Chains A and B, each alone.
Chain A
Amino acid sequence: MPARSEQTKRAHTDLSEPIAGRLTLQLASTMESVSEIESAAEKMASAAGFDEDDAFHITMAVREAAVNAVLHGNEYDPAKKVTVAFEDNGTSLVFKVSDEGKGLDPDSLPDPLAAENLLRGTGRGIFLIRSFMDEVHFRQLHPGTEMTLVKHRPQTGASA
Protein backbone atom coordinates (compact mmCIF):
# COMPACT_ATOMS: atom_id res chain seq x y z
CA MET A 1 0.00 0.00 0.00
CA PRO A 2 1.43 3.35 -0.90
CA ALA A 3 1.74 6.02 1.69
CA ARG A 4 -0.70 8.89 1.16
CA SER A 5 1.17 11.95 2.17
CA GLU A 6 0.34 15.46 1.05
CA GLN A 7 3.06 17.69 -0.31
CA THR A 8 2.64 21.05 -1.90
CA LYS A 9 5.84 22.60 -3.14
CA ARG A 10 6.76 25.74 -4.96
CA ALA A 11 9.48 26.56 -7.40
CA HIS A 12 12.99 25.23 -6.85
CA THR A 13 12.31 23.45 -3.62
CA ASP A 14 14.47 20.66 -2.33
CA LEU A 15 13.27 17.44 -3.92
CA SER A 16 15.76 15.26 -2.11
CA GLU A 17 13.00 13.58 -0.11
CA PRO A 18 11.29 10.56 -1.65
CA ILE A 19 7.97 11.53 -3.18
CA ALA A 20 4.85 9.58 -2.36
CA GLY A 21 1.23 10.57 -2.46
CA ARG A 22 0.79 13.95 -4.07
CA LEU A 23 3.01 16.76 -5.29
CA THR A 24 2.06 20.09 -6.81
CA LEU A 25 4.54 22.52 -8.34
CA GLN A 26 4.11 25.82 -10.10
CA LEU A 27 7.26 26.70 -11.97
CA ALA A 28 8.78 29.23 -14.33
CA SER A 29 8.90 28.44 -18.05
CA THR A 30 12.55 27.43 -18.08
CA MET A 31 14.69 24.39 -18.76
CA GLU A 32 15.61 24.36 -15.07
CA SER A 33 11.93 23.72 -14.37
CA VAL A 34 11.97 20.84 -16.85
CA SER A 35 14.87 19.30 -14.94
CA GLU A 36 13.05 19.76 -11.65
CA ILE A 37 9.90 18.13 -13.02
CA GLU A 38 11.94 15.27 -14.48
CA SER A 39 13.65 14.68 -11.16
CA ALA A 40 10.36 14.68 -9.28
CA ALA A 41 8.79 12.22 -11.73
CA GLU A 42 11.77 9.90 -11.45
CA LYS A 43 11.56 9.86 -7.66
CA MET A 44 7.83 9.21 -7.74
CA ALA A 45 8.12 6.38 -10.26
CA SER A 46 10.91 4.72 -8.31
CA ALA A 47 9.09 5.14 -5.00
CA ALA A 48 5.99 3.55 -6.54
CA GLY A 49 7.92 0.37 -7.27
CA PHE A 50 8.18 0.52 -11.04
CA ASP A 51 11.13 -1.36 -12.47
CA GLU A 52 14.04 0.49 -14.01
CA ASP A 53 12.71 0.39 -17.58
CA ASP A 54 9.21 1.53 -16.64
CA ALA A 55 10.57 4.24 -14.35
CA PHE A 56 12.80 5.44 -17.19
CA HIS A 57 9.88 5.55 -19.61
CA ILE A 58 7.61 7.34 -17.13
CA THR A 59 10.31 9.89 -16.39
CA MET A 60 10.98 10.44 -20.07
CA ALA A 61 7.27 10.90 -20.84
CA VAL A 62 6.81 13.42 -18.05
CA ARG A 63 9.92 15.27 -19.18
CA GLU A 64 8.57 15.45 -22.73
CA ALA A 65 5.30 16.83 -21.38
CA ALA A 66 7.22 19.44 -19.40
CA VAL A 67 9.29 20.40 -22.44
CA ASN A 68 6.09 20.70 -24.43
CA ALA A 69 4.60 23.03 -21.83
CA VAL A 70 7.70 25.22 -21.50
CA LEU A 71 8.72 25.32 -25.15
CA HIS A 72 5.59 24.94 -27.27
CA GLY A 73 2.98 26.02 -24.73
CA ASN A 74 4.46 28.95 -22.83
CA GLU A 75 7.27 29.58 -25.34
CA TYR A 76 9.65 30.40 -22.45
CA ASP A 77 7.46 33.39 -21.53
CA PRO A 78 8.55 34.45 -18.01
CA ALA A 79 5.02 35.69 -17.30
CA LYS A 80 3.57 32.22 -17.84
CA LYS A 81 3.86 29.32 -15.42
CA VAL A 82 3.97 25.59 -15.80
CA THR A 83 1.87 23.75 -13.24
CA VAL A 84 2.38 20.10 -12.43
CA ALA A 85 0.30 17.91 -10.16
CA PHE A 86 1.58 14.41 -9.52
CA GLU A 87 -0.46 11.84 -7.66
CA ASP A 88 -0.04 8.22 -6.66
CA ASN A 89 -3.64 7.08 -6.14
CA GLY A 90 -2.72 3.55 -5.17
CA THR A 91 -3.45 1.94 -8.53
CA SER A 92 -1.81 4.44 -10.85
CA LEU A 93 0.56 7.33 -11.10
CA VAL A 94 -1.17 10.39 -12.52
CA PHE A 95 0.90 13.30 -13.83
CA LYS A 96 -0.86 16.49 -14.86
CA VAL A 97 1.23 19.10 -16.67
CA SER A 98 -0.39 22.41 -17.59
CA ASP A 99 0.76 25.46 -19.50
CA GLU A 100 -0.75 28.87 -20.20
CA GLY A 101 -0.12 28.89 -23.92
CA LYS A 102 -2.24 29.03 -27.04
CA GLY A 103 -3.59 25.54 -26.65
CA LEU A 104 -2.74 22.27 -28.34
CA ASP A 105 -4.99 20.25 -30.61
CA PRO A 106 -3.64 16.70 -30.29
CA ASP A 107 -5.64 15.57 -33.33
CA SER A 108 -3.78 18.02 -35.53
CA LEU A 109 -0.36 16.52 -34.86
CA PRO A 110 1.25 14.79 -37.82
CA ASP A 111 2.10 11.11 -37.48
CA PRO A 112 5.88 11.01 -36.91
CA LEU A 113 6.01 7.43 -38.22
CA ALA A 114 4.56 8.33 -41.61
CA ALA A 115 7.16 8.07 -44.36
CA GLU A 116 6.80 11.74 -45.28
CA ASN A 117 7.45 12.79 -41.65
CA LEU A 118 10.26 10.41 -40.77
CA LEU A 119 12.99 12.95 -41.52
CA ARG A 120 11.31 15.86 -39.79
CA GLY A 121 13.34 17.44 -37.02
CA THR A 122 10.35 17.81 -34.68
CA GLY A 123 7.04 16.19 -33.77
CA ARG A 124 8.04 13.13 -31.75
CA GLY A 125 7.41 14.31 -28.19
CA ILE A 126 3.70 13.53 -27.90
CA PHE A 127 4.26 10.27 -29.77
CA LEU A 128 6.84 9.18 -27.17
CA ILE A 129 4.52 10.18 -24.34
CA ARG A 130 1.70 8.10 -25.81
CA SER A 131 4.06 5.18 -26.35
CA PHE A 132 5.33 5.14 -22.78
CA MET A 133 2.17 5.82 -20.78
CA ASP A 134 -1.04 3.80 -20.40
CA GLU A 135 -3.33 6.80 -20.83
CA VAL A 136 -2.80 10.32 -22.14
CA HIS A 137 -5.53 12.96 -22.01
CA PHE A 138 -5.65 16.56 -23.16
CA ARG A 139 -7.85 19.28 -21.74
CA GLN A 140 -8.09 22.80 -23.06
CA LEU A 141 -7.78 25.42 -20.32
CA HIS A 142 -8.40 28.63 -22.30
CA PRO A 143 -5.66 29.65 -22.18
CA GLY A 144 -3.38 26.69 -22.14
CA THR A 145 -3.44 22.95 -22.21
CA GLU A 146 -3.47 20.37 -19.45
CA MET A 147 -1.91 17.05 -20.33
CA THR A 148 -2.65 14.11 -18.07
CA LEU A 149 -0.33 11.12 -18.17
CA VAL A 150 -1.36 7.92 -16.43
CA LYS A 151 0.73 4.84 -15.72
CA HIS A 152 -0.90 1.91 -13.95
CA ARG A 153 1.04 0.23 -11.20
CA PRO A 154 2.19 -3.32 -11.79
CA GLN A 155 -0.44 -5.82 -10.65
CA THR A 156 2.08 -7.95 -8.79
CA GLY A 157 5.27 -7.16 -6.99
CA ALA A 158 6.52 -6.04 -3.66
CA SER A 159 3.71 -4.70 -1.53
CA ALA A 160 5.39 -5.07 1.82
Chain B
Amino acid sequence: MALTIASREVDGVTVLDLGGRITLGEGSVQLREAIRDLISKGSKSTLLNLSDVNYIDSSGLGELVSAYTTSKNQGASLKLLGLTKKVKDVLQLTKLYTVFDIYDDEASAIASYK
Protein backbone atom coordinates (compact mmCIF):
# COMPACT_ATOMS: atom_id res chain seq x y z
CA MET B 1 0.00 0.00 0.00
CA ALA B 2 2.48 2.58 -1.21
CA LEU B 3 1.80 6.26 -1.56
CA THR B 4 0.13 7.39 -4.77
CA ILE B 5 0.50 10.96 -5.99
CA ALA B 6 -1.52 12.60 -8.76
CA SER B 7 -1.05 16.21 -9.75
CA ARG B 8 -3.60 18.65 -11.16
CA GLU B 9 -3.96 22.40 -11.52
CA VAL B 10 -6.90 24.36 -10.15
CA ASP B 11 -6.93 28.16 -10.61
CA GLY B 12 -3.15 28.38 -10.50
CA VAL B 13 -2.82 26.06 -7.51
CA THR B 14 -1.05 22.74 -7.89
CA VAL B 15 -3.10 20.14 -6.10
CA LEU B 16 -1.35 16.91 -5.22
CA ASP B 17 -3.87 14.16 -4.53
CA LEU B 18 -2.14 11.73 -2.20
CA GLY B 19 -3.37 8.26 -1.39
CA GLY B 20 -2.18 5.44 0.84
CA ARG B 21 0.51 5.73 3.47
CA ILE B 22 3.15 8.39 4.08
CA THR B 23 5.78 6.38 5.91
CA LEU B 24 9.52 5.86 6.14
CA GLY B 25 10.95 4.74 2.85
CA GLU B 26 8.93 4.83 -0.30
CA GLY B 27 6.09 7.12 0.77
CA SER B 28 8.31 9.79 2.28
CA VAL B 29 10.72 9.73 -0.65
CA GLN B 30 7.91 10.04 -3.19
CA LEU B 31 6.48 13.05 -1.42
CA ARG B 32 9.90 14.69 -1.12
CA GLU B 33 10.57 14.23 -4.82
CA ALA B 34 7.15 15.56 -5.79
CA ILE B 35 7.69 18.72 -3.73
CA ARG B 36 11.20 19.20 -5.10
CA ASP B 37 9.85 18.82 -8.60
CA LEU B 38 7.18 21.46 -8.04
CA ILE B 39 9.64 23.91 -6.53
CA SER B 40 12.10 23.42 -9.37
CA LYS B 41 9.29 24.26 -11.79
CA GLY B 42 8.60 27.47 -9.91
CA SER B 43 5.25 26.47 -8.49
CA LYS B 44 4.27 28.90 -5.73
CA SER B 45 0.97 27.44 -4.55
CA THR B 46 0.72 23.82 -3.49
CA LEU B 47 -2.20 22.07 -1.90
CA LEU B 48 -1.66 18.58 -0.52
CA ASN B 49 -4.94 16.70 -0.63
CA LEU B 50 -4.68 14.07 2.12
CA SER B 51 -8.29 12.83 1.86
CA ASP B 52 -7.13 9.36 0.88
CA VAL B 53 -4.13 9.15 3.20
CA ASN B 54 -5.04 6.68 5.91
CA TYR B 55 -1.71 6.44 7.69
CA ILE B 56 1.23 8.69 8.47
CA ASP B 57 4.16 7.77 10.69
CA SER B 58 6.79 9.94 12.39
CA SER B 59 8.89 9.93 9.24
CA GLY B 60 5.90 11.00 7.17
CA LEU B 61 5.19 13.81 9.62
CA GLY B 62 8.80 14.90 9.22
CA GLU B 63 8.36 14.87 5.47
CA LEU B 64 5.27 17.06 5.67
CA VAL B 65 7.19 19.51 7.85
CA SER B 66 10.11 19.47 5.41
CA ALA B 67 7.73 20.07 2.50
CA TYR B 68 6.27 23.03 4.39
CA THR B 69 9.61 24.60 5.32
CA THR B 70 11.18 23.94 1.91
CA SER B 71 8.22 25.59 0.19
CA LYS B 72 8.26 28.52 2.57
CA ASN B 73 11.99 29.05 2.08
CA GLN B 74 11.39 29.22 -1.67
CA GLY B 75 8.62 31.75 -1.31
CA ALA B 76 5.97 29.14 -2.02
CA SER B 77 2.88 28.32 0.01
CA LEU B 78 1.98 24.74 0.97
CA LYS B 79 -1.35 23.96 2.58
CA LEU B 80 -3.22 20.80 3.53
CA LEU B 81 -6.68 19.63 2.52
CA GLY B 82 -9.02 16.95 3.82
CA LEU B 83 -7.39 15.24 6.74
CA THR B 84 -8.67 11.81 7.67
CA LYS B 85 -9.34 11.28 11.36
CA LYS B 86 -6.20 9.24 11.86
CA VAL B 87 -3.95 11.81 10.22
CA LYS B 88 -5.69 14.67 12.01
CA ASP B 89 -5.26 12.96 15.38
CA VAL B 90 -1.53 12.54 14.86
CA LEU B 91 -1.11 16.13 13.65
CA GLN B 92 -2.95 17.38 16.72
CA LEU B 93 -0.96 15.18 19.07
CA THR B 94 2.31 16.49 17.68
CA LYS B 95 1.07 20.11 17.60
CA LEU B 96 1.66 20.22 13.86
CA TYR B 97 -2.01 21.01 13.39
CA THR B 98 -1.13 24.56 14.47
CA VAL B 99 1.71 24.82 11.95
CA PHE B 100 -0.15 24.11 8.74
CA ASP B 101 -3.01 25.90 7.04
CA ILE B 102 -5.59 23.13 6.87
CA TYR B 103 -8.88 23.08 4.96
CA ASP B 104 -11.83 20.74 4.90
CA ASP B 105 -13.10 21.64 1.44
CA GLU B 106 -11.20 22.25 -1.74
CA ALA B 107 -13.03 25.40 -2.83
CA SER B 108 -12.11 27.21 0.38
CA ALA B 109 -8.55 25.97 0.12
CA ILE B 110 -8.17 27.20 -3.46
CA ALA B 111 -9.78 30.54 -2.61
CA SER B 112 -7.32 31.05 0.24
CA TYR B 113 -4.43 31.45 -2.21
CA LYS B 114 -5.98 34.54 -3.81
Contact = CB atoms under 8 A, between A and B. Distances in A.
Interface stretch (B10-18, B37-45, B58-66): B58-66
Interface in B1-49: 24-25
Contacts of B93: 128, 131
Contacts of A56: 86
A60 B58 CA distance: 10
Interface stretch (B75-83, B94-102, B103-111): B94-102
Nearest to A31: B25
A68 to B, nearest CB: 9
B74 interface: no
Contacts, number: 49
Contacts of A119: 65, 68-69, 99
Interface residues of A, number: 21
Contacts of A31: 24-25
A34 B63 CA distance: 19
Given A31-B24, A113-B94, A128 B65 contact: no
Given A56-B86, A128-B90, A131-B93, A121 B62 contact: yes
Interface residues of B, number: 20
A120 B99 CA distance: 12
A55 interface: no
A71 interface: yes
B94 A112 contact: yes
Contact of A122 (B62, B68, B69, B90): B62
A64 B58 contact: yes
Contact of B24 (A60, A67, A118, A127): A67
A21 interface: no
Contacts of B25: 31
Interface in A105-136: 112-113, 118-125, 127-128, 131
Contact of B57 (A63, A121, A127, A131): A63
B99 A127 contact: no
Interface of B: 24-25, 55, 57-59, 61-63, 65-66, 68-69, 86, 90, 93-96, 99
